[in-house]
């Protein structure tokens, strides 16, 4: 009888531990705490070749930002491609000037500035495309569901003007960059991310206290 009585509290303890002992907390990481190194991961395949895979950060804004960075440069702040596009997000000099950055040497050597340029460009594109976002989000064009993040990603690739033409022609005008990457491809690849925290700003500028002589 004593042994059977002891089993009851033991079983209760096991149940309580099972239900409450392994709990998970949702941790929100502030945007300012950014990874300053490329988020690249090397894996070794069965054939022995190293393959770089992108990090998975979910569909929140940081996931959107790093997904674009991986596609553009594999997250490399220091890279300059053969067409002169620079940094983690592959910006050209003309785009940099539009957000207030005139010194490309400062830009390529300053990861913090590169992040600020990315945000400023998003804000500017969101303002330019505000009516198209309202009009087209939720619709399908050439088999791709239009989302706000897809529109902003496509504007990063080809500029807001070309995205307007794509949307308003319902895909008949499909800009491609020098590598053959199209607006439709970016619209699909980067669709469904949460970019609601990006504010519209007509004259958005990248301003960093540490960055001088811009």
Tokens of 174: 């499909």
In the predicted structure, residue 203 carries a pLDDT above the cut 90: yes
- Residues of the chain with pLDDT > 90, as a percent, come to 69
pLDDT at 55: 55
Q: 16-25, 110-119, 134-143, 165-174: which has the minimum mean pLDDT?
A: 16-25
| Whole-number Å distance between alpha carbons of 181 and 97 | 24
| Whole-number Å distance between alpha carbons of 149 and 139 | 14
Cβ neighbours for 110, distance < 8 A, ≥ 6 positions apart:
208, 210, 211
| Whole-number Å distance between alpha carbons of 158 and 205 | 20
- pLDDT tens, residue by residue, 81-98: 999 999 999 999 999 999
- pLDDT tens, residue by residue, 153-190: 999 999 999 999 999 999 999 999 999 999 999 999 99
User: What are the helix (H) ranges across 77-207?
Assistant: 93-98, 104-108, 111-128, 130-136, 148-158, 160-168, 183-189
Domains and CATH numbers, the chain: 57-189 (1.10.530.10)
- Torsion angle (degrees, nearest 10) of CA 94, 105, 30, 196: 0
Decide the pairing of beta strands 41-44 and 50-53. Answer: antiparallel
| Whole-number Å distance between alpha carbons of 120 and 207 | 9
Beta partners for residue 50, in sequence order: 44
Q: What is the DSSP string of 67-83?
A: HHHHHHHTT-TT-B-TT
CA distances, 166 to each of 130, 146, 198 (Å): 15, 11, 22
Q: 5-19, 88-102, 120-134, 166-180: which has the minimum mean pLDDT?
A: 5-19
Other beta carbons less than 10 A from residue 3's beta carbon: 6
Q: 29-33, 112-116, 119-123: which has the minimum mean pLDDT?
A: 29-33
Model's pTM, two decimal places? 0.73
């Amino acid at each position: 009888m004593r042994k059977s009585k002891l089993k009851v509290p033991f079983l209760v303890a096991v149940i309580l531990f099972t239900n409450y002992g392994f709990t998970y907390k949702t941790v929100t990481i502030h945007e300012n705490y950014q990874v300053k190194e490329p988020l690249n991961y090397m894996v070794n395949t069965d054939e022995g070749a190293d393959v770089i895979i992108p990090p998975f950060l979910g569909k929140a804004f940081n996931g959107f930002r790093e997904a674009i960075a991986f596609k553009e440069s594999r997250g490399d702040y220091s890279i300059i491609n053969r067409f002169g596009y620079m940094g983690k997000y592959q910006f050209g000099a003309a785009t940099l000037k539009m957000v207030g950055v005139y010194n490309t040497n400062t830009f390529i050597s300053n990861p913090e500035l590169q992040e600020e340029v990315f945000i400023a460009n998003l804000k500017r594109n969101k303002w330019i495309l505000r009516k198209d976002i309202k009009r087209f989000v939720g619709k399908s064009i050439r088999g791709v569901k239009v989302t706000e993040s897809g529109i902003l990603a496509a504007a990063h690739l080809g500029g807001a003007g070309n995205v307007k033409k794509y949307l308003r022609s319902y895909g008949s005008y499909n800009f491609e960059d020098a590598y053959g990457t199209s607006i439709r491809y970016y619209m699909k690849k980067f669709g469904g991310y949460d970019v609601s925290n990006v504010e519209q700003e007509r004259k958005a500028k990248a301003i960093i206290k540490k960055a001088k002589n811009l």
